[in-house]
Amino acid sequence: MPIHYDEYYKLILPEFADECAAKCAGAKTIHLYNNILDKIGVCKSLLPPEGSYLNHLFTSEGYASNFCGVYPARVMRTLVEGWRMRNSGECLGAKAILKQAIPSINRTLRNHIWKYL
C-alpha cells in the first residue's frame, strides 16, 4: 500500500495528486480506505474532486460514468478537516464549544423566550 492510512486524504484532495501518482507509479493495487471514507461521510456515488488522484484514476480507467456527480474540492477539504478535528479532540475545546453554544443560546432565547415578552 503506497499511501499510508494516516494519509488517506491525499487520494481525494487535488493538491496531493502528483505525490500520489509518484508513490503509486509501480503499485499493482492501492487501498481505498473505505471505512475511513464512510466515517468521514463521503458519498460514494460522487466522484472525488477534479484534479485529485482518485478522480484521475477513475476517469482514466473509464469508471467516471458510474458516478452521478463530482465533489467540489472545498467540500472534500471540509469533510477531511472535520474528521481531523473530531479525531484530534480539537473540536471539543472550550473555544469550539463556545462557538456552538452562543448561537444556540441566542436561537433558544429568540424562539422560546422573546416571543412571550
* Residues ≥6 apart with Cβ < 8 Å to 31: 1, 3, 5
* pLDDT the model gives residue 115: 64
Other beta carbons within 10 angstroms of residue 111's beta carbon come to: 9
**Mean pLDDT to the nearest integer, 89-105:** 73
Residue 4: closest CA among 47, 43, 19: 19
Distance CA 47, CA 71 (A): 6
Distance CA 100, CA 64 (A): 38
The domain ranges of the chain are 5-90
Q: How far is CA 97 from CA 48, 75, 81, 101, 113, in A?
A: 31, 22, 17, 6, 23
Q: Report pLDDT digits (tens) over 38-96.
A: 999 999 999 999 999 999 999 999 999 999 999 999 999 999 998 988 887 766 667 76
More confident residue, 112 or 68: 68
